[in-house]
């Protein structure tokens, strides 16, 4: 039984805030890209369906951004409230990216307001489209900066520590620590992928309930193609991340892969369960694949958990999360590939029932994969908060009131979550795209499309 | 000048910026609710929502900027304030979260829900009250610092006249600044009904504002005499603040130059806020944290200052663009765009 002390409660509260925030943050980074693409296609092709798509997505997006902003504010403050000793130490080294993240956020906030309230204000529609670019830049840069902070916690760099005193700080080296490139690539790419996939799910559901099918077909084509492109880049980023882990954080890879003994030609363990004494049951073993995954060489030596001191070993249950994340990624990649393939082969109907049903699943699944991936990444560096320098227990607050705050925030996230769903539903349920299109563009030919 | 002084000036500027834009926002929420229960909401709401919708997110950023910058420039503050402020900090987060998201829910989702309106109005007064706790604590006397951690003495805080005088000042200032801004905005919008309503609010709230400012002075002289005495070194700043206060009230009373009146409000708070801030130094948290001991190492200080300047070059033109679009575009304000 785990003891519910301040440390454990601080971990739980931070985890809860992040798990909730990530949903909104991910969409916040990725959806502007999709809005911008749809608006551009709408302008270039003079296709009002795409312009409407951009508008509808933007309207839903504002609700998501609002919750993203407030939960982001929460995690920003909670860092200092729950982990004061950690912030006192690490603040000296990572203040720069934290600070710059707020700049990026500021930049995005300014142009988001400008974008949302100027749809019909300019004579040239391209002027309005240009306003979407700073939103994308701001959102993606926020993701970049905040990911460098997390990367730093995994592979601290850019300072020296002697007897608990930090000196010789190099803020740039801390920001561009070894984990930064792969982490940023993976985070940004998967955020784009999940956002496109969520919009694809919405389009697929719209199509399934037999409403606005012209609109839904176009939305599907755009979102599924985008999901495919982004899931390919996410897969590449994932592969690079595995190679990074093998080199810099072998304990995380080993725990995730249940790789106990250091050996050459290591097997990849898929699924399975772990019995007592760490024997693996019911797993699929792919011979030598772990070595290949880690080093691009089937016979390379992969560090096992035997090389890691027992008290620095991450929990072994992260294996399930690693497997789930990768499986979902592969599934989404496969399904979107199939859909895109079918749209190019005349005889096949990409809008058959099975395909549409499968596509309804990719949004929620991609979001789950992002949560699983973060759980794997975060639990995989336990017991460290600053790998090699500070354990989680040393960083936590000593306040006795964390438990009450956990309940308070649980209630808050519950209300926000329900509120978001209710408002989004209200916003779209009684306002189908076709009607909105007719309403917006009276001159549009109304015949034959419904 | 060391990085610590650049740092604290930058941070203080952002806190000042937050004080102004957030007050407009918080007060507007209260007035919107008040107008509704007095059946005058048809006059107020359009005005408020046209201004607030495009900028509410920007308001929030000022706040995030301040505390991220504070921890960046002065990491020790994270240790003391982080441990002590878990409860008031968390309550402030929850209020801000409810307010921000419900604002979006209401303006983009379901219109005119009374519960939303109430929450929006109430949080607008509770947030400044809970945030001002941090400033109160920084005057010392409320923390119990031991080897095992930092504890906030709640009983002490709740019974102290100084802490209540600060809460009172925070709330009335919010209503004063907000009504002054709305007066200006209503005038720009040529909305005579709204103007006569908010102008009354503005004149009304100017009275408790000046009383509360005096009360805080007196309470501080009891609570932290050392700080109180340093304030006299900056007497001219407080003097200017009072002067601008008189100018504001005169302009609004004589029904002219509302734009200048609001600028005068900004100067009034600028001088009071910077006079207060400057006289606090060298303490950030009396008597535990001083500005020079807690500052981040030079390398990071320099990096932050460079980042700050680069960021400003990006932000100022963008902010100017936003203001031109929504704040100073007469057609937009009047509802024609």
Report how far Cα A21 is from the mean position of its chain's Cα atoms.
Answer: 10
- Looking at the predicted structure, is the pLDDT value of residue B64 above 70? yes
pLDDT in the model for residue A444 = 44
Q: How far is B324 from chain A (nearest CA, A)?
A: 10
In the prediction, which pLDDT does A449 show?
A: 37
**To the nearest whole number, what is the mean pLDDT of chain B?**
79
Any idea what DSSP says for residue B287?
Answer: T
User: How large is the average pLDDT for residues B233-260?
Assistant: 83
- Confirm whether A163 is domain-assigned: yes
Per cent of chain A over pLDDT 90 is 24
Residue for token pair 């991609």: A366
Asked if residue A303 belongs to a domain, the reply is no
Q: Is residue A98 part of a domain?
A: yes
Render pLDDT for B195-205 as a digit per residue (tens, 0 to 9).
777 787 778 77
Q: Compute the distance between CA of residue B302 and CA of residue B306 in angstroms, rounded to an integer.
A: 6
Classify residue A264: in a domain, yes or no.
Answer: no
Q: Does B97 touch chain A (CB under 8 A)?
A: yes
Q: Which pLDDT belongs to residue B111? A: 57
ipTM value: 0.81
- pLDDT exceeds 50 at position A439: yes
Residues in A touching B60 (Cβ below 8 Å): 69-70, 73, 109
Residue A446 has what pLDDT? 41
Residue A136: which pLDDT band, with cuts at 50, 70 and 90? very high
For residue B123, give the nearest of B202, B6, B26 by alpha carbon. Answer: B26
Structural domain contains residue A185: yes
**Number of domains, chain A:** 1
Please give the tally of structural domains in chain B: 1
Domain of A324 in residue numbering reads as: 6-245+312-446
Q: Tokens for B201, please give them.
A: 């609010």
Residue B109 clears pLDDT 60, i.e. is over it: no
Q: Are B325 and B54 in contact (CB under 8 A)?
A: yes
CB contact under 8 A, A402 and B55: no
Does residue A286 fall inside a structural domain? no
| A201, part of any domain | yes
Residues 6+ apart with CB under 8 A from A164: none
> Tens digit of pLDDT for each residue in A212-258?
778 888 888 899 999 999 999 999 998 888 888 888 888 888 888 88
Domain that holds residue B36: 3-334
Work out the burial of residue B148: count CB atoms within 10 Å of its CB; fewer than 13 is exposed, 13-18 middle, 19 or more buried. Answer: exposed
Residue B90 has its nearest CB partner, among A81, A85, A170, at A81
**Residue whose C-alpha is closest to residue A81's, from B126, B150, B156:** B150
Asked if residue A274 lies in contact with residue A283, where contact means CB atoms within 8 angstroms, the answer is no
pLDDT over 60 (residue A450): no
- What pLDDT is recorded for position B105? 77
Q: Where are the alpha helices (DSSP H) in A380-401?
A: 392-395
**Cα–Cα distance measured from residue B148 to residue A52, given in angstroms and rounded to the nearest whole number:** 59
Structure-token pair, residue A267: 């097997």
CB contact under 8 A, B61 and A106: yes
Across chain A, what does the average pLDDT equal? 84
CB atoms within 10 A of CB A288: 17
Residue A289 tokens read as 């694949």
A95: nearest CB among B79, B86, B296: B296
* CB contact A398 to B (< 8 Å): yes
Per-residue pLDDT at B335: 63
Contacts of B311 in chain A (CB under 8 A): 100, 103, 106
Tokens of A359: 């596509």
CB contact under 8 A, B72 and A96: yes
Per-window interface: A 111-130 vs B, CB < 8 A: 111-114, 116-118, 121
Contacts of B98 in chain A (CB under 8 A): 412, 415
For the segment A70-106, what is each residue's pLDDT rounded down to a tens digit? 898 889 888 888 888 888 888 888 888 888 888 888 8
Distances (CA, A) of A432 to A151, A439, B108, B124: 43, 11, 16, 35
Residue A320 has pLDDT above 60, yes or no: yes
């Amino acid at each position: 039984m785990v003891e519910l002390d301040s440390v454990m409660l601080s971990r739980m509260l931070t985890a809860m805030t992040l798990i909730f925030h990530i949903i909104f943050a991910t969409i916040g980074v990725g959806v502007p890209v999709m809005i911008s693409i749809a608006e551009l296609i709408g302008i270039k092709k003079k296709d009002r369906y795409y312009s409407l798509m951009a508008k509808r997505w933007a309207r839903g997006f504002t609700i998501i951004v609002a919750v993203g902003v407030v939960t982001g504010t929460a995690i920003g403050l909670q860092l200092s409230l729950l982990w004061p000793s950690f912030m006192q130490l690490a603040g000296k080294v990572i203040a720069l990216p934290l600070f710059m993240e707020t700049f990026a956020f500021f930049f995005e906030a300014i142009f988001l307001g400008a974008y949302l309230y100027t749809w019909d204000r300019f004579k040239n529609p391209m002027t309005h489209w240009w306003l979407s670019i700073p939103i994308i830049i701001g959102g993606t840069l926020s993701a970049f900066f905040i990911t460098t902070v997390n990367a730093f916690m995994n592979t601290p760099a850019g300072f020296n520590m002697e007897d608990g005193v930090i000196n010789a700080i190099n803020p740039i080296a801390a920001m561009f620590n070894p984990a930064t490139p792969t982490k940023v690539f993976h985070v940004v790419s998967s955020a784009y992928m999940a956002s496109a996939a969520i919009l694809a799910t919405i389009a697929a559901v719209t199509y399934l309930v037999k409403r606005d099918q012209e609109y839904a077909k176009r939305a599907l084509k755009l979102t599924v193609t985008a999901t495919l492109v982004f899931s390919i880049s996410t897969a590449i980023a994932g592969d690079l991340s595995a190679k990074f882990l093998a080199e810099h954080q072998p304990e995380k890879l080993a725990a995730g892969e249940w790789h106990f003994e250091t050996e050459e030609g290591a097997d990849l363990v898929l699924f399975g369960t772990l019995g007592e004494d760490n024997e693996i049951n019911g797993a699929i073993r792919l011979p030598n694949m772990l070595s290949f995954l880690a080093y691009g060489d089937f016979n390379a030596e992969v560090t096992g958990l035997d090389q890691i001191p027992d008290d620095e070993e991450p929990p072994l249950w992260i294996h399930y999360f690693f497997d789930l994340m990768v499986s979902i990624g592969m599934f989404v990649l496969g399904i979107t590939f199939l859909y895109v393939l079918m749209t190019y082969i005349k005889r096949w109907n990409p809008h058959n029932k099975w395909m549409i049903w499968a596509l309804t699943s990719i949004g929620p699944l991609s979001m789950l994969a992002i949560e699983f991936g973060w759980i794997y990444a975060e639990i995989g560096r336990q017991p460290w908060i600053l790998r090699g320098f500070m354990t989680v227990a040393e960083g936590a607050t000593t306040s006795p009131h964390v438990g009450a705050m956990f309940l308070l925030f649980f209630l808050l996230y519950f209300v926000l979550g329900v509120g978001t769903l209710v408002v989004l539903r209200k916003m779209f349920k009684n306002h189908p795209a076709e009607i909105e299109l007719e309403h917006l563009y009276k001159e549009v030919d109304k015949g034959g499309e419904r | 000048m060391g990085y610590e002084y650049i740092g604290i000036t930058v941070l203080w500027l952002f806190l000042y910026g937050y004080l102004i834009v957030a007050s407009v926002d918080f007060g507007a929420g209260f007035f919107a609710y008040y107008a509704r229960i007095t059946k005058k909401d048809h006059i107020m709401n359009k005005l408020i929502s046209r201004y607030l919708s495009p900028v509410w997110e920007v308001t929030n950023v000022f706040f995030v900027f301040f505390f991220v910058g504070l921890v960046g420039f002065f990491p020790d503050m994270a240790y003391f304030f982080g441990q002590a402020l878990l409860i008031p900090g968390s309550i402030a987060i929850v209020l801000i979260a409810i307010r921000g998201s419900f604002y979006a829910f209401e303006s983009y989702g379901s219109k005119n829900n009374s519960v939303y309106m109430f929450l929006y109005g109430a949080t607008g007064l509770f947030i400044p009250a809970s945030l001002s706790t941090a400033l109160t604590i920084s005057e010392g006397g409320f923390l119990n610092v031991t080897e095992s951690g930092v504890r906030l003495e709640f009983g002490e805080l709740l019974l102290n006249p100084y802490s209540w005088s600060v809460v009172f000042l925070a709330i009335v200032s919010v209503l004063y600044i907000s009504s002054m801004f709305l007066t200006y905005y209503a005038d720009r919008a040529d909305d005579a009904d709204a103007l006569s309503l908010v102008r009354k609010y503005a004149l009304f709230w100017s009275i408790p504002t000046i009383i509360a400012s005096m009360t805080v002075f007196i309470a501080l002289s009891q609570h932290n005499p050392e700080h109180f005495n340093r304030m006299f070194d900056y007497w001219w700043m407080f003097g200017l603040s009072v002067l601008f206060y008189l100018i504001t009230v005169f302009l609004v009373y004589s029904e002219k130059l509302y734009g200048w009146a609001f600028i005068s409000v900004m100067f009034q708070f600028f001088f009071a806020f910077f006079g207060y801030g400057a006289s606090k130094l060298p303490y950030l948290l009396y008597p535990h944290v001083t500005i020079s001991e807690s500052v981040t190492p030079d390398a990071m200080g320099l990096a932050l200052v460079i980042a700050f300047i680069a960021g400003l070059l990006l932000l100022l033109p963008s902010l100017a663009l936003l203001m031109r679009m929504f704040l100073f575009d007469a057609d937009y304000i009047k509802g024609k765009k």
